[in-house]
Structure 1
Amino acid sequence: MLKKVLKIIKEAGSIVLFYYYKNISKKNIFYKVDNSPVTSVDYDVNDFLIKELYKLTPDFPILSEENLPDIKLCKNWNTYWLIDPLDGTKEFINKIPEFTINICLIKKNIPLFGVIYIPYYKTLYYSHFGKLFKEVQGCKSVIKKNIYNNNNFIVSRSHYDLKIDTYLKKYKYYSKIKLGSSWKFCLIAERKAKCYLRYGNTGIWDTAAGESILNASGGCIKTFSGKNLDYSLKKSFLNPGFKACI
């Protein structure tokens, strides 16, 4: 199944890049209730991923940011796919090539197997049996659990919160890295940064694949009250603020 999922996500990346180089027109950009942008590319990739994942595992339901059902219909899902067809839509629109595609298999409220693909750089991260792998231009390597030695903090390029400045006052020396999409989790897993601070709500599709990858690297995600993120689909599709750290 791993090889097939990696093939699917790379093919989805080719769809994204086709539109990226073609330049998407304003008539193909729409806005959701919360004023966040969504494009025809999000929908096209969403349809492709759902079709291919259903072929692969017809018994597993699929939850996507662009295809949300009534949460009451999901309460008994034990195993399901959680996907974000285009994470970093603002970056995609503004020609900042940090956007990703996220796929994660959730089982019993745990992000079991996650894949994040950065199409522009043809870079793939995925967790498999507790190990973390990175593939660049087809060359695969294992990411080792080295000790980090930096005070680099990753913050959202599009959703910065002044509470982050208050949190960082405890550190004498630090640097902030602005980045869009779930790529943030991958850099932490590689020990290129210490922590990703996020205040305010995110969708569970924004964090699931990243959490799986981070867990495989020895890191974790916790809310600011010390709790795990909830993928049980019992109450909400949203996460509270959190710290993703090594």
Structure 2
Amino acid sequence: MSVNENLLADVSHIATQAGEKIMQIYNAPDFQARIATQSKADDSPLTQADLAAHRHITEALQSLRHEHAELPQLSEESEHISWQQRQNWESYWLIDPLDGTKEFIKRNGEFTVNIALIHKGLPLLGCVYAPALKTIYSGAFGVGSYKNQEAIQARQTNPEKLRVVGSRSHPSPELSDYLTNLKRPYELVEMGSSLKLCLIAESAADLYPRLGPTSEWDTAAAHAIVSAAGGSVEQLNGQPLRYNQSESLLNPHFVAR
């Protein structure tokens, strides 16, 4: 499966367009009425913005050139696809049309559109667009990583004081224990959605220990960006975080740096 700058640009454009669909609802006078929809399987909220972005992304990916248009798609809004079907996928698109729905509802701007290309369990390409912030992160294997088209790189040095990024909406006691065991100075940077991983990719944070539940579509796009920026996303046993490895779509705990 090949990736290049043209494909990265095409997927970035799709993510940006999906973000525009979200912002139409985000900026609507009847915002509160338009987010009052049903709940997802994990009891997190499902809004009209999730569905509008999902429809746009799935249709646009099918319009891409050549082999990429024919790939199967797994979106948070299509999680009913069975393991019996998924286990035969070598390459596929993994999508979160609106990551950080709680941030969206709070209207704090820290929500994103996530699109990733997975090949043999690893993310080759990813785009993360934060429409309220007008910021897009993108990256691909062999191409590099970018923030608003400017090249970015994960930190390659080991600073005396670590900047540790943590969840704004999902803090965990496990994180508190982890930070206690660091035994070195740190400052905690709170952030919502997949933007936490993007901070690692652009050297705005040094460490992101995720010791609470995440789904594969929450992390894959930003994971690709971190990897292409020279960073790493590993399970606690030191093995790379991989995708579509079992019936469960939940990630194990991981650390990005």
TM-score for both structures, normalised by structure 2: 0.88
Please say if residues 155 and 231 of structure 2, whose CA atoms lie closer than 8 Å, have aligned partners that are also in contact: no
Give the match for residue 175 of structure 1: 187
- What amino acid is the match of 1:9? A
Q: Any idea what SS the aligned residue of 2:41 has?
A: coil
1:49-64 superposed matches below 5 A: 49-56=57-64, 57-64=68-75
- What amino acid is the match of 2:255? K
Give the match for residue 151 of structure 2: 142
Q: Any idea what SS the aligned residue of 2:123 has?
A: strand
Please say if residues 200 and 206 of structure 2, whose CA atoms lie closer than 8 Å, have aligned partners that are also in contact: yes
Query: Structure 1 residue 212: deviation in Å?
Result: 0.7
- What amino acid is the match of 1:21? N
Give the match for residue 115 of structure 2: 103
Q: Give the structure with the larger strand fraction.
A: 1
Give the match for residue 40 of structure 1: 48
1:7-156 superposed matches below 5 A: 7-22=13-28, 23-25=31-33, 28-56=36-64, 57-68=68-79, 69-128=81-140, 129-135=142-148, 140-148=149-157, 149=159, 150-156=161-167
RMSD of Structure 2 on Structure 1 (CA): 1.7
Q: 1:221 aligns with which of 212, 233, 236?
A: 233
Of 53-62 and 115-124, the range deviating more from structure 2: 53-62
TM-score for both structures, normalised by structure 1: 0.92
Tell me, which stretches of 5 or more residues in structure 1 are unaligned? none
Query: Structure 1 residue 165: deviation in Å?
Result: 1.4
Query: Structure 1 residue 130: deviation in Å?
Result: 4.0
Please say if residues 202 and 239 of structure 1, whose CA atoms lie closer than 8 Å, have aligned partners that are also in contact: yes
Q: Percent identity between the aligned chains?
A: 38
Query: Structure 1 residue 10: deviation in Å?
Result: 0.9
Please say if residues 96 and 113 of structure 2, whose CA atoms lie closer than 8 Å, have aligned partners that are also in contact: yes
Query: Structure 1 residue 227: deviation in Å?
Result: 2.4
**2:176 corresponds to 1:162:** no
